[in-house]
Structure 1
Amino acid sequence: MTDVLVPAAGIDPQRWPGVAATPVYGMRGRIAAALFRRAAASLPLRVAYPDGTVTGERGPVMRLHRPEAFAARLGDAGLIGFGEAYQAGDWDCDDLVALLTVFAGRMATLIPPRLQWLRRFHGLRAPRSERNTPHGSRRNIQRHYDLSNDLFALFLDDSMTYSSALFDDPAEDLTVAQHRKIDRLLDGARVRAGSRVLEIGTGWGELAIRAARRGADVVSVTLSTEQRDLARRRAEQAGVADRIEVRLCDYREIEPVTLGFDAIVSVEMIEAVGEAYWPVYADVLHRHLAPDGRVALQMITMAHDRMLATRDSYTWIHKYVFPGGLIPSVPAVQAVAARAGLTVTGRHDFGADYARTLHRWRAAFQERRDQVTALGFDATFLRTWNFYLAYCEAGFAAGYLDVCQLTMGRTR
């Protein structure tokens, strides 16, 4: 999957102000260029410059088309600038995942310890508007999930499941692997005929449909109008609409039911909650759970020390893909859950399966570029989402990120 170069001149400054505007190549840029050369020399990659110079002896080739623009962005905004340089076409790579996997594997040590103080010059803070208040959460979720149902349908499988699958065989059908993931969560939450199920984060309805087919009654909440509408239509088409209620509702505003829900299921939702609201989220789980009920969560995770080191960072992913979130560590979630009165009863990690899932999504996205464009998305969007999907796949392939399913019950 070779990535097509897009000239910076073709970027819409209204839609992509941070990409269209290249910072001046000054002192910061020169320092960034020197640090990048030093870091690249210690990694298994090659860097090709416009004059024909190629540094390094092995690994994927990073082609710098505009070295000064690349360094200026890097010096101005650190890793955000690194991503924006790709969006702008300042650099390219024929095997983007391989290149980003190299960087992800050395993320904590790319900058020498004695130079870590330089981070403060480009350590951007998240805008206050992206805080996950009830109003902020709606805006953050809508920025991503309300882009277009048709867009997501172009690269997701037929189940419209936007989270890691669980593979029995790397080559198996993606929908089969997605159903295995869902069924494992439902089994962990002990969902059966007659169960009252609360789903926090609807997606496009596949988990609710599979729970309803078991004979459960499901209340599912989402902040995305696009997801709500399609999930309702899919429930009707599946013949289980009488067992599923999809609400446009913040998790903090869920109405209680008598005796609580027998099962609460939430898939890759806690990452969007934000650290400041993790205790609130855990309290919601506890408050709505029946005395003998079970919680089943699927969540993207990172090592606890990396979470602590990056918890205040404002990243490229925040700026362009998922505003307001933070990937937790398992110990952090366990601690928050324990304070809310919940005890972890089971855990299953399967990060390699997320790398496989993302590989499938990115391949489908690349194959359907023309259809993405036909939906009204421009060339910079194509590069942005290609980088996003490759960036995430690399994180899981390198082990920098993981994904796990946790089951919980009330602490006795």
Structure 2
Amino acid sequence: MPTDSLPKHRAFVQFWFARIASGFGFQMLSVAVAWQIYAITGRALDLGLIGLVQFFPSVLLALPAGHVADQFERRRVVLLGQVVEWCAIALLALLSFTHRIHELGILALVFVIGTAKAFESPSMSSLLPALVPPAILPRAVAVSGSAFQMAMVLGPAVGGLLYVAGPGVVYATAAGLYLVAATLMALLRYEQAPPKREPASLKSLFAGVHFIRERKDVLGVISLDLFAVLFGGATALLPIFARDILHTGPWGLGLLRAAPAVGALLMSFWLARHDLTRRVGMIMFGSVAGFGVATLVFALSSWMWLSLVALFAGGAFDMVSMVIRGSMVQLDTPDAMRGRVNAVNSIFVNTSNQLGEFESGLVAAWLGAVGAAVVGGVGTLVVVGLWMGMFPGLRRRQKLHLEAAAIEAAEETTAETL
């Protein structure tokens, strides 16, 4: 390993631990908020409001957040977001310990957290390429993904165990983890060219949209993610499959929910040690198709072990696709545009997750849970076939890294956009 790359690797390790800490804290927070609101009101509708007050800022503020990420030092934007989140979580802990908590107060503080995360997310995503050399960015994306998956697997379990001692204990622990994340972020050191300041305008806010429209490969991978998740949202139906089809209880539902994250986590470990150097376009399409097939197997399975294997495989396939898509978007986008492009990407991701769950529930109401999952799996395979035809350059793409001529063309597109 070259000596001059060591500082960047140390910075990435620090960044990774910050992601671990904030990810665990957020997953624990999510469990506590849901349990506490349901305990206070007893209304299922209020559980939906938790997602709603997070969804609106994540979508409505995405473009301004992308503009901020490209105009200011990204580390400071992330740090400010985490400090605001820490304050809101600490207030949740204080109100819970003093028994002054109520539903509207919880939802208001969750809205504050969602708003802070909306600004934090594009800057956090755009930080990663500055911390490692471009040659190992795909591995860094995989390792960063492992932090998210570990938080997904273990965070809710730890939060649930701590909730036995009361919601205030969960909030206090989550606040402590956010304090660790913010401290690591405050101490993070890396090299970044000074951002070019420009006034906010419609042209600047929508520059990411224009760039994606001009870059066919970036448009292809982002839109593929949108439609694949839209049709592959069978996880929203897991409670129905657990009770009515697999005839298991809450423990079985927990296993079903954990299986995709475990598959993704183990695959992220493998990808962190192996480079994707050939035919990355076809590997990506094959991984999304594998996800579709895994969804079909899960839909038609009546055996618990087979359903777990299918969900595990789906999570592993999705991780391969996610690493390739994430690396392509980062490597194909000049640094001056990364915040706005990542902001548009976050809109696609948030929208597809929410609409995917809605689509699954709507189709399940018409065709049943099995029919909805089958439609999702077949729809994913159809999307793969259509996108392979619509984006031939993406299908023929051999490497994650752009050639010099392509980089120059991307920078010219950026200059014209700005």
Q: What TM-score results when the alignment is normalised by the length of structure 1? A: 0.26
Greater share of residues in helix = 2
Specify which structure has the higher proportion of strand. 1
| TM-score (norm. length: structure 2) | 0.26
Q: State the structure with bigger RCO (CA 8 A, min sep 6), 1 or 2.
A: 2
